[in-house]
Chains A and B, each alone.
Chain A
């Protein structure tokens, strides 16, 4: 049986000399520093950059639409979408990215770091979740309207008046159904990406906070 009092001695005898022998060369450190970070914050930042890139593409696509449609209502609709939906979202994501760039947890004590990380992750997930959920019906509504308009221009669905109340109601219903369906998918996706990790971090924090 190993006595607990001897643990330190065992550790010192066997581990410490091994660590001393593992001094790494300057070139090895340089190689390690060139590697890609796998930290949760870097993962968040990479995902945010991807979101920003996708938003820029969407923004350019939406901005290009009025050049192809000569109808005033369609132009107004797309300009409104740009101003009220896409540009604020883009600014928000850029702000969030800058915040994450400045955010550093690693030099704090473990408990403070865990608290900050959980707070930041939950804030990000909450806004990402509700942001996507709000954006979904608008995007579907605008896309469906544009598709309908384009099909009419090509000679299909001529019996549809895209700006009549019943048509708008159908498109709106479709957008809402799409949003309802995307709710569980989005929840599952975010849980798969970060949710389980947050739960683990919370368990660690609870363990540090529990008081006899």
Chain B
């Protein structure tokens, strides 16, 4: 979701593993281990310097960036979902990812640092955005 090619994907994955490894001694059981891990992974994805993305507003052109494996193995619905999420901002991507992972709003709030109410507002906006994007196709 945060990368557009395999090299960037591998770099980001490596960085997440590195940051998880470094941060693990600071884990104090104050939050669930999954919350802790999501925080690290999403912080790494959002705060990292990445190569410039090709900016485009056309859903069709975005769909070309979907990985070959997804093209080959996954359904049209998933391809469409993936292409639509690509259009969101990095912050929105993190919220929608947590939503798709079935995280309750309280936990999304704990990971993102915004209130649960605001997560709900934000999620509604994202849903609206995705609805429009999905309907374009």
Contacts and interface: CB of A to CB of B under 8 A. Distances in A.
Interface of A: 1-2, 4, 6-8, 10-12, 14-15, 29, 32-33, 35, 37-40, 43, 104-114, 117, 197, 201, 203-204, 207-208, 211-212
Contact of A201 (B17, B47, B94, B131): B47
For the residues of A in contact with B, the DSSP-based class is: helix
Given A107-B27, A107-B39, A33 B89 contact: no
Contacts of B21: 33
Interface string B57-98: 000000000000000001101101100000001111010000
The 4 A-B pairs at the shortest CB distance, nearest first, are namely A111-B113, A109-B113, A11-B100, A32-B17
Given A39-B48, A108-B43, A8 B102 contact: yes
A110 B113 contact: yes
B78 A106 contact: no
A2 B80 contact: yes
Given A32-B18, A106-B43, A110-B39, A208 B78 contact: no
A110 B14 contact: no
21 contacts: A10-B78, A15-B78, A32-B13, A32-B17, A33-B21, A40-B49, A43-B49, A105-B47, A106-B23, A107-B36, A108-B39, A109-B113, A110-B39, A110-B46, A111-B114, A112-B113, A113-B43, A113-B47, A207-B89, A207-B92, A212-B121
Given A10-B75, A204-B46, A204-B89, A38 B80 contact: no
A109 B115 CA distance: 12
Interface string B17-30: 11101110011000
Interface residues on B, range: 35 or more
B112 A110 contact: yes
B83 to A, nearest CB: 11
Contacts of A15: 78, 100
Interface of B: 11, 13-15, 17-19, 21-23, 26-27, 36, 39-40, 42-44, 46-49, 74-75, 77-78, 80-81, 89-92, 94, 99-102, 110-114, 118, 121, 127, 130-131, 134-135
Most A CB contacts (10 A, CB to CB) among B18, B78, B111 go to B18
By DSSP majority rule, is chain B's interface helix, strand, loop, or mixed? helix
Given A104-B23, A107-B27, A14 B44 contact: no
A4 B118 contact: no
A40 B45 CA distance: 11
A10 B134 CA distance: 14
B91 A207 contact: yes
A75 to B, nearest CB: 46
Nearest to B96: A7
Contacts of B46: 110, 114, 204
A109 B39 contact: yes
A103 B40 CA distance: 14
